[in-house]
Chain A
Amino acid sequence: MNIIKKLANIDRRIIFIVIAIVVIIPLIFKPKFPIVVSEPVQKAYDAVNNLPEGANVMISIDYDAASMPELQPYLEALLSHCFMKDFHPILIVQWQLGAPLGTQALEKIAAEYNKEYGIDYINLGYRPGYVAQMVGIGREIRTYFNSDYKGDLIEKYPVMNNIHNYDDIDLLIGLEAGATGQVWVQYAGARFDQRIVLALTAVSAPDAYFFFQSGQIEGLVGGMKGAAEYEILVDKPDMAVAGMAAQSFAHMLIILFIVFGNIAYFVDKRKKNKAKGGIK
Chain B
Amino acid sequence: MIKGKGIPLAISFLTGTIIIIAFFIPHAPFGSFEEISLRWYSIIAGFTMLLGVDSLLRLHTNKIKRKENHWAYSIVLLFGFLLIVIVGIISTIRYGNAFLTGSGFMYMYDNMIIPLQSTMFSLLAFFIASAAYRAFRARNFDATLLLITAIIVMFGRVPISEMISPKIPIFTEWIMSVPQMAAKRGIIIGIALGAIGVSLRIILGIERSYLS
Interface residues of A (CB under 8 A from B): 10, 12, 15-16, 18-20, 23, 33-36, 38-39, 64-69, 97, 99-100, 103-104, 107, 125, 127-129, 131-133, 135-136, 139, 143-144, 149-151, 191, 202, 206-207, 209-210, 213, 223, 225, 228, 244-245, 247-255, 257-258, 260-262, 265-266
Contacts and interface: CB of A to CB of B under 8 A. Distances in A.
Contacts of A258: 132-133, 136, 147, 150-151
Contact of A103 (B35, B99, B184): B99
B170 to A, nearest CB: 9
B129 A103 contact: no
Given A151-B96, A210-B185, A253-B129, A100 B106 contact: yes
B136 A66 contact: no
A133 B42 contact: yes
Contact of B159 (A15, A34, A143, A150): A34
Contacts of B158: 33, 225, 244, 247-248, 251-252
A144 B134 contact: no
Nearest to A123: B99
Nearest to A64: B117
A12 B157 contact: no
A66 B117 contact: yes
Interface centre among B125, B150, B158, B160 (most CB of A within 10 A): B158
A107 B101 contact: yes
Contacts of B26: 191
Contacts of A206: 176, 180, 184
Given A33-B160, A38-B173, A251-B160, 17 more contacts: A35-B162, A38-B169, A65-B116, A65-B117, A66-B121, A100-B106, A100-B109, A128-B42, A129-B38, A132-B45, A144-B42, A150-B96, A250-B125, A252-B158, A258-B132, A261-B133, A266-B138
A225 B42 CA distance: 35
Contacts of A213: 177, 181
B181 A210 contact: yes
A149 B38 contact: no
Interface residues of B, number: 61
The 6 closest A-B pairs by CB, nearest first: A129-B42, A33-B159, A132-B38, A65-B117, A129-B45, A66-B121
Contact of A191 (B23, B44, B114, B177): B23
Given A38-B169, A248-B160, A67 B129 contact: no
Interface string B182-205: 001100100000000000000000
B45 A128 contact: yes
A255 B156 CA distance: 12
A251 B132 CA distance: 11
A143 B34 CA distance: 13
B97 A149 contact: yes
Contact of B154 (A65, A254, A261): A254
Nearest to B43: A129
A266 B137 CA distance: 9
23 contacts: A66-B117, A66-B118, A68-B114, A68-B118, A97-B113, A104-B101, A107-B101, A128-B46, A129-B38, A132-B42, A136-B35, A143-B35, A151-B97, A209-B181, A223-B157, A247-B158, A249-B160, A251-B157, A252-B155, A258-B132, A258-B151, A261-B132, A266-B138
Interface in B9-54: 23, 26, 31, 34-35, 38-39, 41-46, 49
A131 B133 contact: no
B128 A254 contact: yes
A250 B77 CA distance: 33
B6 interface: no
B120 interface: yes
Given A66-B117, A244-B158, A248-B158, A136 B49 contact: no
A33 B129 contact: no
B184 A210 contact: yes
B137 to A, nearest CB: 5
Contacts of A35: 159, 162
Nearest to A187: B23
Contacts of B132: 254, 257-258, 261
Contacts of B99: 99-100, 103, 125, 149
A34 B162 contact: yes
B93 interface: no
Contacts of A247: 158
Given A99-B99, A213-B181, A255-B155, A129 B134 contact: no
A195 B166 CA distance: 32
B62 interface: no
